[in-house]
Structure 1
Amino acid sequence: MAEQKAQPVIWARPRPSRGPAPKITLEELARHAIEIADEEGIDGLTMRRLGAGLGRGTMSVYRQIQSKSDLIDLMLDEAVGEIELVSHDTWREGLHWLGHTIRDHALRHPWMLMLLNEGPYFGPKGIGYTEHVLGLMSELDLPIDEIMLAIGLVNSYARGFARQEVAQTRRLAEVGLTVEEWMRLNSGYVRGLLESGKYPQFNRVIIEAEQPHMVQDEAFEYGLQRVLNGVAAGLPGAS
């Protein structure tokens, strides 16, 4: 089988000029695909499933896009386009908004957590989002590399926190338990670990620590503030 020739991103390709006009737009395709991925996960999204959900055959989807990779690009762009871009008076307020926005958006569309780090992303709505985010620290007149690194720290923290939340929710859903039920189910095992005396630091976590019992929103805010403190300490002119 001949290798498929690499092509530029879907937005850089000319739209077909022959034949009847498509009955559904790329944005509509993307929105319907997002609904499927939100409900069934990205593995549940196939071109056949998408076509059936739209009341069309698989080939009608392929007349619009050439591959699932194109579809993923369109979905990411459409999903990022949902974010309301808000201006802020200071860089810290801006990065605080960014952290919460990334986490909230990831929890709304968990499938995005697996896809956003796979490679370059240049959708038109995504570019608008990126332009806005890079401008959150413009008041500091810093080199663009410093701005990108600072924003990357917030991105990594927020996505990592959301990824852990999604994984925990999925794991508990698989066994049909709430967090409290899971803890009660395993309380005897944990008690044995405590009584063994072999794990003094683990004992401290169970007996003394507040963090494991914090509401997720509170735990996220606690960590985000410390990330922002680290950014402030490392950037000249940031306070």
Structure 2
Amino acid sequence: MPNDDHTKQAIRLLWGEEPRRTRGPRPKLSVEQIARAAIDIATRDGIEAVSMQRVAGELGYTTMSLYNYVSSKNVLIEVMMDVATEDPPELTGETWRERTRQWMSSLWDLYMSKPWMARVTLSSPPIGPRQLAWFDQLIQALNDSGLRPGDQMATATFLLGTIRGLAKLSLDVADAPGHTPYDETLTQVLTDGRFPALAAIASPEVFGADLEAANVDEPLQFGLERLLDGIDDYVRSMKK
């Protein structure tokens, strides 16, 4: 269950609502500086390597001094996710389908370039300004699809979860030591006739040689196109 306290603190930091100090020395660090130092660690060594102590050492401060800016590692990770998201790309497609494809491709590229982001255990839906900018951009892309507002939200949420899930799958498989292409693994275990449909497609030609990013991209594209086809059909049926 999400920690409401952590979420509230993250919102205050992400939206600049922390009260200003009226006494004492001026702060020497910013929350974004701290987040970017943590992002550098996650980029080099993975999200598991991030700790308040490690980040403090990276910045040349004591661990306790960092707590004056960020109250916990959980809050820090929430801030990291938003800072690392950066600003969304401009969508130039002429149709809602083209813009949705561009958005999906950009988010996929973000996860591939910053693998640690796909491995963070989320404690809330998007709450930071950059993450919400991406979310808003997708809703804008869906505005002229004909979907009702609730359906737009459902579609956007589904796409966020699908892309994130497939990105994590491809990254985990690619990083597994000595992993065997999935079709080879299936060929070894599908020998007793219990799974005939799966056995029939367990070949490099049909199933794909592996589940790494280049090959996950194909089913992702296929699934997206079928989703967009389904939206078109759904909107047409509402007009009848």
TM-score of the pair, normalised by structure 1:
0.79
Counterpart amino acid of residue 127 in structure 1: L
Matched pairs, number: 226
| Counterpart residue number, 1:63 | 68
Contact 2:135 2:156 survives alignment (8 Å) = no
Name which of 132, 136, 148 aligns with 1:127.
132
Name the counterpart of 2:227: 227
**Contact preservation (8 Å) 1:78, 1:125:** yes
The Cα of 1:92 is off from its aligned counterpart by 0.5
* Distance in structure 2 (CA, Å) of the matches to 1:192 and 1:220: 26
- Give the distance between the partners of 2:58 and 2:100, measured in 1 at CA: 38
* Alpha-carbon distance, 1:114 to partner: 4.2
Q: Which residue of 1 aligns with 2:118?
A: 113
Structure 1 stretches of 4+ with a deviation exceeding 6 A read none
One-letter amino acid matched to 2:55: L
For structure 1, the residue ranges without an aligned partner over 5 or more in a row are none
- Between the aligned partners of 2:92 and 2:125, the Cα distance in structure 1 is 25
Residue matched to 1:202 = 198
Aligned to 2:40: 35
Q: Percent identity?
A: 26
- TM-score, normalization: structure 2? 0.79
Q: CA RMSD in A?
A: 3.1
The offset of 1:78, in angstroms, is 0.7
The SS at the match of 2:91 is coil
Instruction: Kindly state the Cα deviation for residue 138 of structure 1 after the two structures are TM-superposed.
Output: 1.9
> What SS does the aligned partner of 2:225 have?
helix
5+ long unaligned stretches in structure 2 = none
1:163-221 Cα deviation digits (max 9, x unpaired):
210221232xxx3x2645x877x6xx945743x44543233122585132374133332
Deviations 1:111-149 (A, max 9, x none): 323447421432222232332222112224543211111
Q: Please give the alpha-carbon distance, in whole angstroms, between the structure 2 residues aligned to 1:161 and 1:232.
A: 24
The corresponding residue for 1:164 is 169
Equivalent residue for 1:212? Answer: 208
Indicate the larger mover: 209-218 or 132-141.
209-218
User: Distance between the aligned counterparts of 2:189 and 2:92, measured in 1?
Assistant: 52
